[in-house]
Amino acid sequence: LERMSESLSAQIEKLKSDISADMKLLREENNTTIRNLTKSIEEVKTEAVLSVDQNSRMNDLIVSGVPFTPEENLHRYFSTWCRLLGYPEDVIPLVDIRRLSKGAPKAGTASLILIQFAITIQRNDFFAHYLKSRNLSLSQIGFSVNKRIYINENLGPTSRGLRSKALAMKRNGQLTGVFTKDGTVYVKEAGSDRAVAVRTENQLGDIVHR
């Protein structure tokens, strides 16, 4: 009877141990599932915010590298760029163009220039013309220096941050290519020609470390 009692006690202890191990494993699996769900929800929220932000900037382009002068005529600059990019003189897209500056711009400072197109397809066409040549310079609009002028998409804060991190990774050799299209950041991994869209820092980290 004593041996039977000891055997039963041992079986009970083993059963308790097995149940405890199963419960621990179940908790770990549940925690992993919760973490994955939380991550997915955050990514969906981020993508939704990015989508709204991108839509509000679809007609925009940003020009950098042009110093301010008191007598500047931004619309004349734009007409010159259109001509240099191959537009007929009588076909100039309708745009609103202005400096992005918190206060009155000072002579010599190169605050960004925002170009807002009335029609999205005209914005896309102008940007495509620029990307084919990438050959705009200050001397073409009356400056004595021949430094390049750059035109880029008007990215929101999140996309700008992602692009900066991706460019840093490219400089470190972790990525081979970084570009934006329609407000989304795309990267190319080392050894791959395929561009992958990234919308969060987690996605960027996963691509680099996988």
**Could you tell me if 74 and 149 lie in one domain?**
yes
pLDDT attached to residue 1: 62
The answer to whether residue 42 sits within a structural domain is no
Residues with Cβ within 8 Å of 210's Cβ and at least 6 positions away in sequence, in order, are none
Q: Are residues 114 and 174 in the same domain?
A: no
Same domain, 161 and 148: no
The pair of three-digit structure tokens given for residue 179, joined into one six-digit string: 């570009």
Our count of domains for the chain comes to 2
Together in a domain, 108 and 175: no
Same domain? 125 vs 181: no
Shared domain for 186 and 139, answered yes or no, is: no
Q: Which two tokens stand for residue 130?
A: 């620029």
- Tens-level pLDDT at each residue, the chain (210 residues): 667 777 778 888 888 888 888 888 888 888 888 887 776 777 666 666 656 667 778 999 999 999 999 999 999 999 999 999 999 988 899 999 999 988 888 888 899 999 999 999 999 999 999 999 889 999 999 999 999 999 999 998 888 899 999 999 999 999 999 999 888 899 998 888 889 999 888 889 888 776
CATH value at residue 81: 3.30.70.330
Containing structural domain, residue 205: 157-209
Pair 69, 116 in one domain:
yes
- Cα angle vertex 165, ends 185, 126, to 5°? 35
Share of the chain above pLDDT 70, in %: 92
Q: What distances in angstroms separate CA 62 from CA 2, 44, 206, one per listed residue?
A: 87, 28, 30
Residue 176 domain flag: yes
Q: Are residues 62 and 114 in contact, defined by beta-carbon separation less than 8 angstroms?
A: yes
**Apex CA 57: angle with CA 131 and CA 158, to 5°?**
95
The whole-model pTM stands at: 0.69
Please list the residues that pair with 175 across neighbouring strands. Answer: 189
> Could you tell me if residue 5 is inside a domain?
no
Find tokens 């073409």 and name the residue: 140
Distances (CA, A) of 2 to 9, 13, 101, 124: 10, 16, 90, 88
Dihedrals phi, psi of 95, to nearest 5 degrees: -140, 160
8-state DSSP, 1:
-
Shared-domain flag, residues 93 and 147: yes
Task: Say if 18 falls within a structural domain.
Answer: no
Q: Are residues 65 and 147 in the same domain?
A: yes
Residue 166 lies in a domain: yes
* Residues 125 and 173 reside in one and the same domain: no
Q: Is residue 103 part of a domain?
A: yes
Is 137 inside a domain boundary? yes
Q: Is residue 12 part of a domain?
A: no
